[in-house]
Amino acid sequence: MAIAPNMTSVPSRAPAVVATGPVGSPLGTGRVRLTGGLLHDWQRRNRVATVPHVVREVRQAGNLDNFRRLQDPSVGDYRGRYPFLDTDVYKTLEGVAYELARDPADAEEAEALAVAREFYEESVALIERTQRADGYLGTFYQSPQSAKRPWQDLSWGHEMYNLGHLAQAAVAASRQLGDRRLLDVASRFADLVVERYGPDGEQAYCGHPEVEMALVELARETGDGRYLEQARLFVERRGAGTLEHTIFAADYFQDAVPLRELGSVTGHAVRMVYLAAGATDVALETGDDALVAHLEHLWDDMVARKSYLTGGIGSRHSDEAFGDRFELPAERAYAETCAAIGTVQWGWRLFLATGRADVLDHVERVLHNAYAVGLSEDGAAFFYDNPLQRRPDHEQRSGAEKDGEPLRRAWFGCPCCPPNVVRWMSELQDHLAVADDDSLTVALYASAAIDSPALGVDVTTDLPWDGRVTVRVRRAPDRPVTLALRIPAWADGATATVDGEPVAERPADGWLRLTRTWTPGRTVVLDLPMPVRAVTAHPHLDAARGTAAVLRGPLVYCVEQQDAAAPVDDLLLSPEDVARLAVDHDHPWRVLRGDLAVAPPTSDDPYPPLGATAPATHRAPVALVPYALWGNREVGAMRVFLRLS
């Protein structure tokens, strides 16, 4: 492990990226570059559309004014209702740091980056000026008008959550831009936290986990092992039941039992996966195999019993929380976009700690469905919650959904998701591969130039639209090196060639490991079959009983009303229908076309006598679209799970 369990051995300045597990370490800044395909398109959209939009919204919402007013009272009152609004600035900065580190491809990108640069400089200066001499930073509690003082309300104050996002932005700025200004600010704030809540300090922790991941990254970037130890303390202390709130119970805060005793992911979903991600970081860095094993148990339970088909988590609107096992109603899937990001963060770390391919399969599922759906095709509107069904009479009316708004919204009163989408889009390339001196492991597929210590390769693929992946070696040593390629569970019958010759190796544990003395120009072609397929539901998943959903590769599909010549609630799917669905390769969304049986209700009786049936009366043409792309056109009914005939 890179930062040793014994803190005394921590080097004063560690390398920039040090997380090392059984499959090696992530590659450092600039070592992976997206070169084309969907993820590249996403990143360009992020740069030219989402970043400028979010910067504008953050300014308009007053998040920067909340800093400014502490120097200039004429700016006015604290804006917004929440004590965590500084994090919108921090999350945006994290994404902006990544974007600024990459050259613009054209004038449009250059123009957008100028906006980002101005925001970056202005924000960093404001943040530096606002930090108190003792290191504290949080505009909500620093306000003279605040009814509460710092550290009075750890349950709801979000003060260390603020530190967490600040530190993550700071690490990004340091790594991507070599700008250590924010790192100095974050370190001073972290020092204050270590002083107050360190080994000999108050045995407390923050109501919203997040700082744990950030402190580990801060330790990696600064080489200061105290931050890792502080993260470990926060993980281990939690569960003492010290967090109190008039509305939320201990379970909401993951504070009813210690993490090591937790039987299943529980409570507020974002809090839960952020905590688990931070705990996985701690376990990886401290070599705590027992903790890794427990986190694997929690992950496996979540994937098998508390995840939607899209990878979305946290089914409950109340408390934005996990439900019971198999409590996964499609129309009420809260499945917050931030929870999808947290799942990807946790899954990535769990992959680093275990090397498990199936964990990446789920990360891929989340990325292309529960995460991707959160952003509009034009990159300037967001879903907060991500249901798998929209009923024909659904009205947007509560919480994030206000009357008369478009389906995705430009901003929210609690705007956690948009800047979270921004930062994650900007960091996609960090999650494609890991390596050590003898291997390169390709974890997620996208067209990219990858420079690992042993191998330089160019990956070319049209995934998720087409299943071919080409890996061309650009640089290789004169010794055997293992190129490990993930074979997703959805790719039954995958085949591979090296320079046109079928390989003898067989996939094991989800990996095709090719050990060769590679030479520049050698080319691996991996063919991942992507037939249209359908899945049904576990017998305990009541909400999806008697239905099936259509997938192709990692993509979940759905039917929007405008693409069906009958009410989506009346469509029937059969195995034969699935086999006949045709991929429209000319359509940018690769829609699936076919026709399905239609079975309208035959009675208004909500609970007809057992034996009542609604037979199919005719067939209707239907197109299915990727779930991630629904809600970009006319608003109407939508279903992922279709009734089985």
Residue number, 103 or 403, with CB nearest to a second copy: 403
Distance CA 153, CA 165 (A): 19
Instruction: Answer for the pair 556, 627: CB distance below 8 angstroms, yes or no.
Output: yes
Residues 6+ apart with CB under 8 A from 21: 284, 351, 352, 353, 354, 355, 434
Instruction: Answer for the pair 168, 95: CB distance below 8 angstroms, yes or no.
Output: no
Distance CA 456, CA 440 (A): 9
* Token duo for residue 559: 């039917």
Question: How large is the greatest C-alpha to C-alpha distance in the chain, in angstroms?
Answer: 75
Q: Is the peptide bond before 464 cis (omega within 30 degrees of 0)?
A: yes
Query: With the C-alpha atoms ordered 572, 573, 574, 580, is the resulting torsion angle positive or negative?
Result: positive
| Closest distance to a second copy from the beta carbon of 624 (Å) | 15
Residue number, 169 or 578, with CB nearest to a second copy: 578
Angular region, 249: left φ>0, alpha ψ -120 to 50, beta rest: beta
Half-sphere exposure of 540 (CA within 13 A, CB side): 7
Residue number, 450 or 637, with CB nearest to a second copy: 637
Residue number, 183 or 388, with CB nearest to a second copy: 388
| Closest distance to a second copy from the beta carbon of 23 (Å) | 25
| Closest distance to a second copy from the beta carbon of 543 (Å) | 6
Taking alpha carbons only, the member of 552, 312, 340, 309 closest to residue 425 is 340
Residue number, 326 or 412, with CB nearest to a second copy: 326
Residue number, 92 or 337, with CB nearest to a second copy: 337
571-573 vs 642-644, strand pairing mode: parallel
> Euclidean distance between the first and final Cα of the chain, in Å?
54
| Closest distance to a second copy from the beta carbon of 340 (Å) | 17
| Closest distance to a second copy from the beta carbon of 28 (Å) | 36
Q: What are the backbone dihedrals phi and psi of residue 355, each rounded to the nearest 5 degrees, phi first?
A: 75, 15
Distance CA 556, CA 328 (A): 16
| Closest distance to a second copy from the beta carbon of 395 (Å) | 7
| Closest distance to a second copy from the beta carbon of 314 (Å) | 13
Residue number, 434 or 573, with CB nearest to a second copy: 573
Distance CA 499, CA 245 (A): 62
Residue number, 525 or 642, with CB nearest to a second copy: 642
Residue number, 42 or 557, with CB nearest to a second copy: 557
| Closest distance to a second copy from the beta carbon of 317 (Å) | 4
The count of other CB atoms within 10 Å of the CB of residue 536 is 15
Instruction: Answer for the pair 34, 448: CB distance below 8 angstroms, yes or no.
Output: yes
* Token duo for residue 617: 């009366």
Residue number, 483 or 556, with CB nearest to a second copy: 556
| Closest distance to a second copy from the beta carbon of 567 (Å) | 9
| Closest distance to a second copy from the beta carbon of 437 (Å) | 37
